[in-house]
Structure formats: structure tokens, C-alpha cells
């Protein structure tokens, strides 16, 4: 009997090719089916109305992943020209006008079809807190003015308000930990140190019992509980502390009848500038002194003596009284600092300018001592492009930062090493604004969102590898089974 194999070589090739095409089509369908639709981005705008200036931040995130940590990033930022909104207390309508250039820029940056759904928030910090204390009506007028201005844009206006010091600290902490992806990794968290013009915040996770409820915040984020210590020191931003320090030096001289010459160890030798008393006493942070014996101004003269400057600055911290087991200063409870810290805003501007970000505490002090003795003329020649106001104040500001961290918050030579002076993480600036927006848009869920088993890229790769394997096995199988092991494979007789 002659059994004829009904499968001939060309037929097998055609069937193999058909199976291969089938697998490819299957993979293609699966890939297209699961591909995120053309990446659509959403946007949010936050205005940081600080005491010294206002910045507009635009954030961006993929529309389908808004609950995944690490997805929101800063797309753009704009510095509003001029001073902070609290400086418009006498001419409130100008506060709103001042935002125009940056808000027009926001209109250009965000695609038009997204304008209507883009939330815009304004948060004002210590400058407005101080104005509210000084003149509540004026602060309301300023807020009304910025609110009206923001409402004239095609975005979704979500409010303009003064945020509390606690919020400022907590949202700064959320920002740095969100950007470092610490919530998803459930690794340790980093503390946040923010130094502004009028206030300063310290926030970190503490394992100790928090003795004062005002300094305690609990969060549940992505399925983890966080027990935070936070405090905001109003009047301890670097501009207000400079006023405080000048006031402390001026006060004993107020009964002098001659011109008041203030010899300041925190300013450079050769620095000599006439300043108005008004510029020092125009804040609720310093004592109101009504009579200057007919004088309007004083002479501010630099000495360039770091040690004396350090001693003078220590005096702005009251460490004589503490009603808790432990205080930072001014009778404010603080547990010992724990873990790593990100120090941003003026901590970064100042320490970065002074090249002190990589030194240990003792080296930083030594370098700063040398810097402070540099003459004012030499410095101006060396840094012709730096704003004179900033340049004049770096010795003071650097000394304040070291004193605040060491004598205020009690960082030691060892724990100093845990401080990272940072401006940005990735493309996003460190500050309270991102955390504020994440919170208000509910983008930081208490429980971790369900995530697919594999990310999209991994899924595509797996499908490709599997189909390739099937294909290779098929070919190998074909070659193996067609190989004759006795009579020819064509015919068995
Ligand atoms: N050297 C330097 N100083 C800056 C720069 N930008 C701001 N400052 C100063 O650093 C201090 C803090 O600035 P910010 O962090 O913007 O303070 P703010 O948000 O206006 O103030 P708060 O409302 O207290 O947070 C202020 O004294 C500013 O004048 C900068 O680019 N370089
Ligand atoms: Ca600030």
C-alpha cells in the first residue's frame, strides 16, 4: 500500500507564513488595544504670592495617570516683576495688574482647548500674614484685587487666599517627597526646610511624641501613614530677621542726639549706606518706635566681623524659656531633627552663591568668616552683575542660615551632613506650590491606586518575545519533524 503525505513543502511554507502573519496581527491588535490614547496632558496653575515676590507655576501631567505618584511636573514658571503683593497695600488695584505679564504667558503656554478646565490657585504667605495683622482691610483689598485679575482669564479660578504657616510647611514637605518618589517607594521621607523673606518652615517625620498639637500633622498617602512635625516661624524669614537685627542694634542708640551710625558686623568693610528708619520699622515684626529724635535716617556701616555677626544674630532667638521637654527657640516645641532634609528657597540662593553647599559645618563657618571680611569694593568688582541688594546681604544671610540651623533647629556637625541644599528636583522647583495643587486636585490619594501588573513598555516587549518564541518553536518543530529517520518522508511504502 502506498500512503501519500498530503502536506507538501510549499503548503507547509504557506501555512507557516499564515500563522506568523496571524501572530503579528494578534500582537498588533493587543498593542493598539492597550496603548494609552495619544498622550493628553492636563494643566494646573499656582501663584506663589510670597513676601518678596510672586511666581506663577504651571504644572502638567498625563491625563490618564493623575493618581500615579511622580506624574505631575513643572512645565513653566514666571517671576512677576516688582515686589510681593503685600507691598501694594497703599495701591491695591496695582496688585492685580502686576500679574498680567505672567498670566498672559500662562495663556500662551497652555493649549487653548485646555484653558477652561485648568484650575488656577493663588496662595499668599508671610507678607500677607503680616499685612493682615497690620491692616486687615488693606490685606482684603489686595486679595480682592488679585482675585479679580485672575478671574479675568479663561482658566478655572479656584480661589486666592492666605495659606497658614502649617499648610506652607506641610505642602513643601509633600512637594519634595512627591518629586523624590518617596511615597510610592515607601522608603524613608526627607524633611523640608524653607527659608522665605518673612517666614521660615521646618517639617519632618518624627518618631517622637509631638508635645504640641499645633506642630503635628498626620497624613495617609498612597497607603502609608505619616506623622509630621511642622513649624512656621513668622518674622524669621531672612528679610524680617535683618530688620530685627538692625532694630536690636539701633534701639540702644535712639537717645543719641548726633547722627546715628550703626556699625554692623554682618556687612562688609567699606559698605556705608544711608537708610531710613522707616525701612526698618515698617513691619509688625519689629517694635514700633514712634520718635527718632527728629531724625529720619541712620548710617549703616559694615564691619565685616563674622564672629560678632554670629553673636548678634543669636540674640534674635530666645532660648531662655521652654514649656516643653525640648524647644527650638521662642518656646516652640521641636523634637530632635531626624533623617535627611531638603533645604530650598533662600537656603539654596544664599548657600549656593557662597559655595557652601558641599562643606561640613565647621568648614562652612570658616569660609563664611573669610567671605565676610572681604571689602565691599572688592566684592562689587568681583560680581558686577549681581544685584547690589543681594550682594550686600549674603554675609548676613549666610550667617543667619548657619545660626538658624545650628542654634535654632539644633543641627549638629553630624546632622548637618544630612542637609541637601536644593533648588529643583528634576524640572520642578522645590516649594509649597506643587503640594498645594496636588492636595486641592485630589491627586494624592490616601490609598495606592491599582496599577497594572506590567507597565505598557514591558507589556509590549513581553508580547513580542512570546510571539517570537512561538514562531521559532514552530519553525524548529517543522525542521525537526520533517527530517527523515528511515524511509524518505515523502513516501512510505
Ligand atoms: N540671592 C538671591 N536671593 C533671592 C533670589 N530670589 C529671592 N531671593 C531672596 O531670598 C529671600 C527669600 O525669597 P523667597 O523664597 O522667594 O521668599 P518669599 O516667598 O517671597 O517669602 P515668604 O512669603 O516669607 O515665603 C528674599 O529675601 C528674596 O529677596 C535670588 O534669585 N537670589
Ligand atoms: Ca516662600
Neighbours of ion ligand 2 (CB under 5 A): 50, 196
State the pLDDT at residue 11. 72
Identify whether the C-beta of residue 300 lies closer than 8 Å to the C-beta of residue 262: yes
CA 163, distance to chain mean position in Å, is 16
User: What's the 424 CA to ligand 1 centre distance in angstroms?
Assistant: 15
CB-based pocket (< 6 A), ligand 1:
50-53, 84, 125-127, 196-199, 237-239, 345-346, 349, 353, 390
Strand duo 297-302 + 272-276: pairing? antiparallel
Nearest-atom index, ligand 1, CA of 431: 15
Residue nearest to atom 27 of ligand 1 (CA): 197
Nearest-atom index, ligand 1, CA of 238: 27
- Give the span between the Cα atoms of 238 and 396, in whole angstroms: 9
Kindly report the CA angle at 241 between 403 and 397, in degrees rounded to 5? 55
- Give the span between the Cα atoms of 104 and 152, in whole angstroms: 11
User: What's the 232 CA to ligand 1 centre distance in angstroms?
Assistant: 16
**Ligand lying nearest the CA atom of residue 199:** 1
User: What's the 114 CA to ligand 1 centre distance in angstroms?
Assistant: 32
Catalytic hit among 168, 247, 406, 429: 168
Q: How many CA atoms lie within 13 A of 266 on its CB side?
A: 24
- Clarify whether 417 is annotated catalytic: no
DSSP 64: G
DSSP 75: E
User: What's the 281 CA to ligand 1 centre distance in angstroms?
Assistant: 20
Nearest-atom index, ligand 1, CA of 350: 1
* Rounded average pLDDT per 10-residue block, the chain, 493 residues: 55 70 66 60 98 98 85 97 98 98 98 98 98 98 98 98 98 98 91 98 97 97 96 98 95 81 97 94 84 76 98 96 98 98 98 98 98 98 97 98 98 98 98 98 87 64 77 73 54 41
Q: pTM for the complete prediction? A: 0.86
ipTM value greater than 0.90? yes
State the pLDDT at residue 97. 98
Residue nearest to atom 3 of ligand 1 (CA): 349
Q: What is the DSSP string of 336-396?
A: PP-S-EEEEEHHHHHHHHTT-TTS-HHHHHHHHHHHHHS-HHHHHHH-TTS-HHHHHHHHH
State the pLDDT at residue 33. 57
Strand duo 216-221 + 191-195: pairing? unpaired
Best of 164, 199, 237 for a ligand 1 pocket test (most atoms within 8 Å of beta carbon):
237
State the pLDDT at residue 488. 46
**Ligand lying nearest the CA atom of residue 197:** 1
User: What's the 52 CA to ligand 1 centre distance in angstroms?
Assistant: 6
Residue nearest to atom 17 of ligand 1 (CA): 196
The percent of the chain in helix, strand and coil, each rounded to the nearest 5, is 45, 20, 35
CB burial of 202-234 (b: ≥16 within 10 Å; e: otherwise) equals bbbbbeeebeeeebbbebebbeeebebbbbbbb
Nearest-atom index, ligand 1, CA of 52: 20
State the pLDDT at residue 32. 58
Amino acid at each position: 500500500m502506498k500512503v501519500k503525505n498530503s502536506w507538501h513543502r510549499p503548503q507547509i511554507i504557506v501555512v507557516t507564513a499564515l500563522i506568523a502573519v496571524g501572530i503579528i496581527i494578534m500582537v498588533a491588535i493587543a498593542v493598539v488595544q492597550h496603548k494609552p490614547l495619544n498622550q493628553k496632558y492636563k494643566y494646573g496653575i499656582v501663584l506663589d504670592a510670597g513676601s518678596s515676590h510672586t511666581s506663577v507655576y504651571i504644572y502638567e501631567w498625563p491625563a490618564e495617570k493623575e493618581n500615579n505618584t511622580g506624574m505631575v511636573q513643572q512645565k513653566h514658571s514666571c517671576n512677576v516683576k516688582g515686589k510681593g503683593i503685600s507691598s501694594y497695600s497703599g495701591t491695591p488695584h496695582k496688585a492685580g495688574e502686576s500679574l498680567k505679564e505672567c498670566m498672559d504667558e500662562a495663556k500662551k503656554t497652555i493649549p487653548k482647548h485646555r484653558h477652561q478646565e485648568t484650575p488656577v490657585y493663588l496662595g499668599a504667605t508671610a507678607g500677607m500674614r503680616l499685612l493682615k495683622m497690620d491692616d486687615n482691610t488693606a490685606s482684603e483689598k489686595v486679595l480682592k484685587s488679585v482675585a479679580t485679575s485672575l478671574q479675568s482669564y479663561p482658566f478655572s479660578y479656584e480661589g486666592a487666599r492666605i495659606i497658614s504657616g502649617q499648610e506652607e510647611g506641610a505642602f513643601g514637605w509633600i512637594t519634595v517627597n512627591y518629586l523624590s518618589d518617596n511615597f510610592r517607594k515607601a522608603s524613608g521621607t526627607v524633611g523640608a526646610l524653607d527659608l522665605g523673606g518673612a517666614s521660615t518652615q521646618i517639617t519632618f517625620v518624627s518618631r517622637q511624641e509631638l508635645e504640641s498639637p499645633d506642630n503635628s500633622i498626620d497624613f495617609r498617602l498612597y497607603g502609608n501613614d505619616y506623622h509630621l512635625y511642622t513649624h512656621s516661624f513668622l518674622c524669621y524669614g531672612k528679610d524680617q530677621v535683618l530688620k530685627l537685627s538692625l532694630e536690636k542694634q539701633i534701639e540702644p542708640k535712639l537717645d543719641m542726639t548726633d547722627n546715628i551710625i550703626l556699625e554692623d558686623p554682618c556687612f562688609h568693610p567699606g559698605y556705608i549706606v544711608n537708610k531710613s528708619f522707616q525701612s526698618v520699622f515698617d513691619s509688625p515684626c519689629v517694635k514700633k518706635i514712634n520718635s527718632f529724635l527728629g531724625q529720619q535716617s541712620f548710617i549703616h556701616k559694615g564691619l565685616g566681623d563674622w564672629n560678632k555677626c554670629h553673636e548678634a544674630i543669636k540674640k534674635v532667638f530666645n532660648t531662655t524659656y521652654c514649656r516643653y521637654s525640648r524647644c527650638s527657640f521662642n518656646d516652640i516645641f521641636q523634637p530632635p531633627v531626624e533623617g535627611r532634609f531638603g533645604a530650598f528657597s533662600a537656603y539654596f540662593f544664599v548657600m549656593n552663591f557662597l559655595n557652601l553647599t558641599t562643606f561640613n559645618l565647621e568648614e562652612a563657618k570658616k569660609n563664611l568668616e573669610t567671605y565676610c571680611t572681604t571689602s565691599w569694593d572688592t566684592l562689587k568688582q568681583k560680581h558686577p552683575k549681581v544685584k547690589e541688594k543681594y550682594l550686600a546681604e549674603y554675609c548676613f544671610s549666610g550667617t543667619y542660615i548657619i545660626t538658624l540651623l545650628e542654634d535654632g533647629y539644633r543641627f549638629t556637625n553630624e546632622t548637618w551632613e544630612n542637609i541637601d541644599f536644593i533648588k529643583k528636583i528634576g524640572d520642578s522647583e522645590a516649594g509649597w506650590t506643587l503640594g498645594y495643587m496636588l492636595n486641592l486636585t485630589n491627586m494624592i490619594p490616601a490609598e495606592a491606586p491599582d496599577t497594572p501588573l506590567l507597565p505598557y513598555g514591558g507589556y509590549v516587549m513581553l508580547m513580542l518575545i512570546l510571539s517570537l518564541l512561538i514562531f521559532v518553536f514552530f519553525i524548529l518543530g517543522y525542521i525537526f519533524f520533517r527530517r527523515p529517520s528511515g524511509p524518505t518522508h515523502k513516501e512510505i511504502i
